[in-house]
Structure 1
Amino acid sequence: MIEKFLTKTEFESLDDFRQNFQVVVPENFNFAYDVVDEWARIAPDKRALCWTNDHGKHIDFSFAEMKQYSDATAAYFQQLGIGKGDMVMLILKRRYEFWFSILALHKLGAVCIPATHLLTPKDIVYRCNAASIKMIVAVGEEEVIKHVNGALKDSPSITQLVSVGPDQPEGWNDFHEGIRNAAPFEHPAQKNENDDISLLYFTSGTTGNPKMVIHDFTYPLGHIVTASYWHNINQDSLHLTVADTGWGKAVWGKLYGQWIAGAAIFVYDHEKFTPADVLHMIEKYKVTSFCAPPTVFRFLIREDLKSYDLSSLKYCTIAGEPLNPAVYEAFYKITGIKLMEGFGQTETTLTIATFPWMEPKPGSMGVPNPAYDMDLITADGRSAEDGEQGEIILRTDRFKPVGLFMGYYRDEALTKSVYDNHIYHTGDVAWRDEDGYYWFVGRTDDVIKSSGYRIGPFEVESALMTHPAVVECAITGVPDEVRGQVVKATIVLSKEYKDKAGEALIHEIQDHVKRVTAPYKYPRVIEFVDELPKTISGKIRRVEIRGKDTSGE
């Protein structure tokens, strides 16, 4: 399958990959027809999805079944009035109906809007009105139903509500009854074009309402690199990415690139993340490839990993937050597996990564994905030298990379503020070492300016993580009359140190940071907390910590 979309599929070295990687983009590409239905034709019994949940239920779906169910879902959605260009929001957690639904929407040329189950009525109202959402397909769970119903009176664009169960509330359509009784699916007469909108993600910025990131129908092809050359998977792989389907990371690791490669996707549908349960799933189902944010690996290394048979696990990748070297070393020591870091945004696919031909440098994101023309730009507009900080930008004057977003929906001014004159400004600051590896510093608004120094939060967090008391931490800047800003550490303590929280431990941690990194970076302010504020995707919300400090809460 992958041969259809690349001029060359096997590479002998990183240089070979850089020079010869090229995506072939078919006309009117549609992932559901051209990949999933094609697998159903050539290998109907091949496993596509291995789904299990925390109640012990397990279902394997073949590609033939994926075609069958997505056809039935598309036919049902047609009956409900959904067609080309219509906006449909999916609030489906890790339910297998997500895969039926997103494929069905692709087949119809409709726009899929994945969303988290944590949305409040206010969040739903904003999204429905901002994107003119026509239908919501959701889990039939009390809290979600209550929030959707609470948003209806202020969401006039909504014409249909669909529940996948278990509850079937009044006024909602029954998904399973609908697909059971649907007429045979007839392909729409009007095919999608490559530059039609296929996906829309609401992604939170540091200020204002969430931005609406839109991707076209070629976007899945951008994830060939994600799956085949970062996750390093093949047709025999069973891949697990830890992500709720409401987050963009789900299509990075639970759909597009994996199925283009012919791998099976493993899904563990659970309510509460429990490290031991995830390890048990890897052991029981023989997962071969695993991707998760650093937060997950931090918890895994605190389990007794040696008591699990993880021999099936061959490759691990990590993204979402920069990787602390201490986590890398601990996981490698126990498992022998090197964590391969990657970086990207909702607006892009994987843009920087540690690829299979490389020796990872713990804490480095890796090198640029050859599908992008990337540069580091200093504040005065120069290309940064080695060792010099700069903003990661993507140039599109020579070619438009497959996977880069189309812009922010219905907001030309916002789009132009970051993507203009063939340059996309990521807003992320990094530096490059003499070997060409890139190191994350922080968001442009996360970088702390103290007494003339520019201090990236990640380098201080990495130093803190080498102290045994620290389970998790977040570095922010707090206003200071003399220095402009000083470094603040918000720390979650390990259980062995919780009863030692106090001035003595603060001084011990401060002294430790001064020894591990340049002394001017040490946190002058330290606060101990039970947990850090995070997004649904597991990213630390430094903006929330900064907001509390500024408002004096």
Structure 2
Amino acid sequence: MAAEIETIISSWEQEYGHTHAQAAHLLCDRHPEDDVAFTFIAEDLSTSELTYGQLADESRRLAAGLQARGVGEGDRVPVLMTKRRELIISLMALWRLGAVHVPLFTAFASGAIELRVNESAARLAITEASQAQKFSSLQEQLELIVIEEDYADLTTGHGSHTEAVAVGGEGPIVQLYTSGTTGKPKGVVVPLRALGCFVSYQHFGIDLRAEDVFWNAADPGWAYGLYFGVLAPLATGRRSIMFNAAFSPESTVEVIQRLGVTNFAGAPTVYRALRKSGVVQGLRLRRACSAGEPLTPDVVEWAQEALGVEVRDHYGQTELAMAVCNHAHPDLREEIRTGSMGKPLPGYAVDIIDGQIAIDAANSPLMWFTGYQGAPEKTAERFTADGRWYLTGDAGYTDEGGFFYFTARDDDLILASGYRIGPFDVESVLITHPEVADVAVVGKADPEGIRGEVVHAYVVPAAGQGSQKLADELKEMVRSEYSRHAAPRQISFVTELPKTPSGKVQRYILRQQH
């Protein structure tokens, strides 16, 4: 089996890493014209489809129009749109020209957009009318294409761009920026050959099959949604779903039922909200997976009955895509171990170096990240001096079976009375209380100056209000179900937790609060 997997990985290396590789060919033109690339779902749950043939034709015409506006190979082009048809066509048009897509998330305020536009040295951006105002401060330096106003002109009268640019495997296709929870966002350039890594995850991690109805609920303005809701399905000719509406448990359940979704991917916050809502009844998925933050054990237990399948937790970063998985593919599938994120994805060699999860770049054929754009100092912090190991900055460990466990980001570890406490372990206990809707744990300086730090839990009560009785119950839960040394000495009840737009808790903000 190992030899067969190595052969598959080698074939993806060659396919997506070839020096003459064309993004438009790999992602669109080689697929049957009548096959559906995307099903778009509007807020009223009406649907429309985009075939690969339609995507090829419309993206060629849009590429010709963009080329007439001066867009060419290597140009960084920010795109800010909701999950609509023109988003996918715009991305394909950029890739035909050899241009580089800079993803923007619709929840971004103008400051986040300005940073990405300036950092990428963009001269032109594409957006829709509902988002155009966010570019107002950039109007003197940036040409703005608004789909409702400019799309018809761009796709008529300019012909069709039939010769796609061959950027090769090392050529950039995307430039994202890390979420910046602990500092200024850093540019991550994604080369075309990264498709090999994305396809490996889609194949082994989530076991996506031709007959599946696949829905990745993450937003394509972020890595997980872009890598695995757009790029990986396009690379393999699979159909993907785009739901153009805000998340709610009710609408999520209805989309799954109406479209007959069999393979679902979402962040832990999605699963937690579904569990707490009580609206999930009778769903039967073939596969379900989660990524973004560790999945608490209560969700795994709930899913077996509510979804008919376990939710398999996966670990990755913007710089890596997915690196460690509880693989769903039958060739690698194993029983889930509580709290584990699984084993290395084929194509990656993973280990623990100085207490943190690390990628053996020299022995990882699908490793594609080589450093941050224009930030050599930040890059040096991520790699060992000899360049062999990429250091994730995430603390973790392995068990005797080779399963990996995430405990915390290095700066999230709590050092109390000589103990190293991972906030995830404590949160996994607290979230099981029926009166807790959400929770985050951080370390705070011990006011008595004895223990170094103490465990401080920020709890969102399900009923909207906490009490001393609930606080006492939560402390006792941790003492009895995990460990006395990790029990929170301080509990604060809050209405919500500070999170990034992609749903990750910003613990550094909580640490700064008094």
TM-score, normalised to structure 2's length? 0.93
**Which residue of the partner structure matches residue 366 of structure 1?**
342
- Note the alpha carbon deviations across 1:363-383, whole angstroms, 9 max, x for none: 2100011211211012xxxxx
**1:313-324 correspondence to structure 2 within 5 Å:** 313-324=285-296
**Which residue of the partner structure matches residue 287 of structure 1?**
261
Deviation (angstroms), 1:76 = 1.6
Deviation (angstroms), 1:18 = 7.0
Contact 1:241 1:290 in 2 (8 A): yes
**Which residue of the partner structure matches residue 403 of structure 2?**
437
The 2-side partners of 1:341 and 1:15 are apart by 26
Question: Does 2:161 align with 1:185?
Answer: yes
Question: Does 2:146 align with 1:163?
Answer: yes
User: 1:485 is matched by which residue type in structure 2?
Assistant: E
The 1-side partners of 2:443 and 2:65 are apart by 52
Contact 2:343 2:402 in 1 (8 A): yes
Q: Flag structure 1 segments of 5+ consecutive residues without an equivalent.
A: 1-10, 169-173, 379-389
Contact 1:30 1:218 in 2 (8 A): no
**Which residue of the partner structure matches residue 338 of structure 1?**
310
Deviation (angstroms), 1:206 = 4.0
Structure-2 change in CA distance of 1:430 and 1:275 (3 Å): same
Structure-2 change in CA distance of 1:184 and 1:335 (3 Å): closer
Aligned pair partner of 2:498 in 530, 533, 537:
533
The 2-side partners of 1:538 and 1:306 are apart by 21
Question: Does 2:352 align with 1:376?
Answer: yes
Aligned pair partner of 1:196 in 161, 171, 192:
171
The 1-side partners of 2:203 and 2:260 are apart by 19
Aligned positions, number: 502
SS in 2 for 1:477: strand
Question: Does 2:26 align with 1:34?
Answer: yes
**Which residue of the partner structure matches residue 55 of structure 1?**
44
User: 2:136 is matched by which residue type in structure 1?
Assistant: N
Q: Flag structure 2 segments of 5+ consecutive residues without an equivalent.
A: none
Deviation (angstroms), 1:17 = 4.1
Contact 1:219 1:404 in 2 (8 A): yes
Structure-2 change in CA distance of 1:447 and 1:250 (3 Å): same
Deviation (angstroms), 1:273 = 1.4
The 2-side partners of 1:21 and 1:187 are apart by 29
Contact 1:114 1:200 in 2 (8 A): yes
The alignment's C-alpha RMSD in Å is 2.0
The 2-side partners of 1:374 and 1:460 are apart by 26
SS in 1 for 2:313: strand
Give me the identity figure in percent. 28
**1:411-490 correspondence to structure 2 within 5 Å:** 411-420=375-384, 421-480=387-446, 481-490=449-458
Structure-2 change in CA distance of 1:437 and 1:19 (3 Å): farther
SS in 2 for 1:255: helix
Deviation (angstroms), 1:101 = 1.4
User: 1:151 is matched by which residue type in structure 2?
Assistant: L
TM-score, normalised to structure 1's length? 0.87
- Note the alpha carbon deviations across 1:5-48, whole angstroms, 9 max, x for none: xxxxxx6xx89647974333242223321241000xxx221111
User: 2:222 is matched by which residue type in structure 1?
Assistant: W
Structure-2 change in CA distance of 1:198 and 1:135 (3 Å): same
User: 1:295 is matched by which residue type in structure 2?
Assistant: T
Deviation (angstroms), 1:185 = 1.4
The 1-side partners of 2:209 and 2:280 are apart by 27
The 2-side partners of 1:104 and 1:323 are apart by 37
Contact 1:221 1:256 in 2 (8 A): no
**Which residue of the partner structure matches residue 517 of structure 1?**
482
The 1-side partners of 2:370 and 2:353 are apart by 22
Contact 1:305 1:334 in 2 (8 A): no
The 2-side partners of 1:198 and 1:177 are apart by 25
Deviation (angstroms), 1:230 = 1.3
